[in-house]
Amino acid sequence: MIKGKRIAVFGFAKEGLSAANYLGAENFISIIDEKTKDELDKSIFRKLKNKADFYLGRQLPKNLEVDIVIRSPGVRPDNLQIQQLIKNGATLTSATKIFFDQCPATIIGVTGTKGKGTTSTLIYEMLKTRSDNVFLAGNIGTPALDILGQVNQKSIVVLELSSFQLFDLHKSPHIAVVLMITQEHLDWHTDVNEYVSAKESIVANQSSSDFAIINQDFESSKSYANKTPAHVYFTSTKGESNGVYVSGGFIKSKIAGSEKICEISEILLPGTHNLQNICASAATAKILKVDNKNIAKILKTFKGLIHRLQLVREIAGVKYYNDSYATTPETTIAAIEAFTSPKILIFGGSSKNSNFTELGKKISSDKTIKSIVLIGVESARIEEAIDKAGGFGGRIKREAINMQDIVALAKSEAAGGDVVLFSPACASFDMFKNYQDRGEQFIKYVKLQK
């Protein structure tokens, strides 16, 4: 336990608050954020349990000295203010590092460009069929330090881990789950190579007694098998593997002998990308000896997470899906491919420096897309990518300036049997607070339709 130290928490959001609360009773806390007090969430100040000095919205005093700097996930380690504190004698760490150092439980870590939340939750639900001493935390919502006082040596912790959290981690979980890895957060990472390598710590510090579950269908993901001494089980939706895979209409496993786990037609989650998540979660459950019947029970009843291909409502035969969590072109392509019905696609938003070439090709070639509603500052770049791919034969709507207009436009294009798919492929900050606000507004205005 860390005691009697001068600690600077850099970044005052959910994880920064958690670190300040966890360490505040036994240490001297300073909270640093480049946002002003007016720009920060007001409720977060009410949740702070201990006294702290604040340095908000301005340069730090050059002579400020602390023993430890805790980097929040959104803050790069090479931030100039962090580097100044290190120059003044501070040691840099993170809440994720502290959790790995102090956690007595078995840790399962899940990372990937998309699917982390769904896979982490599926693993959690499958393990809960066997024991109540299971915890779900990390990037998915509950900061890891919030549960540290509750876990023991017999606990299992499922952690969703982002590239921000893995960036400078020097320990690895007992079971590392590597999902699809493509491109993401290029507004934060210097390039794709940094993004991919940032995640490598999930396997790099494993031992031969650990396990790595790796999606073999993506070359970037598959390369992680060469970076770990752990026992590797591969997953696949395209062919047979030594772990869990899709074949002949079934989820199958070779982890404890050749077995059929569940018929795909009985699974509620739509789309090939969700089959990838399902294979990874089932492989984890098999390693930890969860019965097949309990794995199948979860797969037959799990309806998915909010803002991830969430069926909001059916109106006059039209199904409305909220996929606001889709902030990359790859995840929107996966959402398009999840449905064979005619589609009205709503997408666009603020920039993450994504490459829209493949999405443009998909929209140009996919004849199930009837109309598209383009929104946000990235709409011009997206339309340029579509034009370069050969253009779009359906209707393009560009007039929407708020969510009420967006939903109304999509509804006007839809007929019975169609799917209205809200899968933005972009960040949300040009029109909305965040992806949750964006998704909640979509849900609200869909439910108001008659």
220-251: per-residue pLDDT in tens? 899 999 999 999 999 999 999 999 999 999 99
Q: Say yes or no: 19 and 91 in one domain.
A: yes
CATH number of the domain that residue 33 is part of: 3.40.50.720
Q: Confidence class of residue 48 from pLDDT cuts 50, 70 and 90?
A: very high
pLDDT range class, residue 190, cuts 50, 70, 90:
low
Q: What is the CATH number of the domain that holds 200?
A: 3.40.1190.10
Residue-number span of the structural domain to which 375 is assigned? 310-447
Judgement on whether residues 54 and 127 belong to the same structural domain of the protein: no
Q: Is residue 1 part of a domain?
A: no
Strand order from edge to edge, sheet including 395-397: 310-315, 318-322, 419-422, 343-347, 369-374, 395-397
* 123 & 219 share domain: yes
pLDDT of 74 over the 90 cut: no
Model confidence band, residue 281 (pLDDT cutoffs 50, 70, 90): very high
Q: Would you say 349 and 427 are in contact if contact means Cβ atoms under 8 Å apart? A: yes
301, 326, 346: which is the final residue of a domain? Answer: 301
> Domain check: are 183 and 284 in the same one?
yes
On the question of pLDDT at 27 being above 60, the answer is yes
Q: What is the pLDDT of residue 166?
A: 87
Total structural domains within the chain:
3
Is there a single domain that holds both residue 190 and residue 165? yes
Q: What is the mean pLDDT of residues 434-447?
A: 95
Same domain for 285 and 370: no
Whether residue 107 sits in one domain with residue 250:
yes
Residue 125, pLDDT > 70, answer yes
Please give the pLDDT value at position 310: 86
Pair (57, 145) in one structural domain:
no
182 and 258 co-located in one domain: yes
Cα dist. 301→88, 126, 248, 295, 297 in Å? Answer: 54, 11, 21, 10, 6
Is residue 434 included in any domain, yes or no? yes
* Residue 379 belongs to domain with CATH number: 3.90.190.20
CA 340 to chain centre: 25
* Residues present in the chain in total: 450
Q: Are residues 162 and 80 in the same domain?
A: no
Classify residue 66 as left (phi > 0), alpha (psi -120 to 50) or beta: beta
Q: Are residues 287 and 314 in the same domain?
A: no
Contact 421, 310 (CB under 8 A): no
| Of the listed ranges 19-23, 45-49, 172-176, 271-275, the one predicted with least confidence | 271-275
In the prediction, which pLDDT does 252 show? 98
Query: Are 207 and 348 members of one domain?
Result: no
The mean pLDDT of 422-444, rounded to a whole number, is: 93
* Residue finishing a domain among 95, 130, 164: 95
Alpha carbon separation from 247 to 266, 276, 281 (Å, rounded): 14, 13, 17
Q: With CA atoms as reference, report the closest residue to 410 among 396, 420, 425, 424.
A: 420
- Among residues 53, 70, 95, the one where a domain terminates is 95
Q: How many Cα atoms are found within 13 Å in the side-chain-facing hemisphere of 248?
A: 6
Give me the pLDDT at residue 387, please. Answer: 95
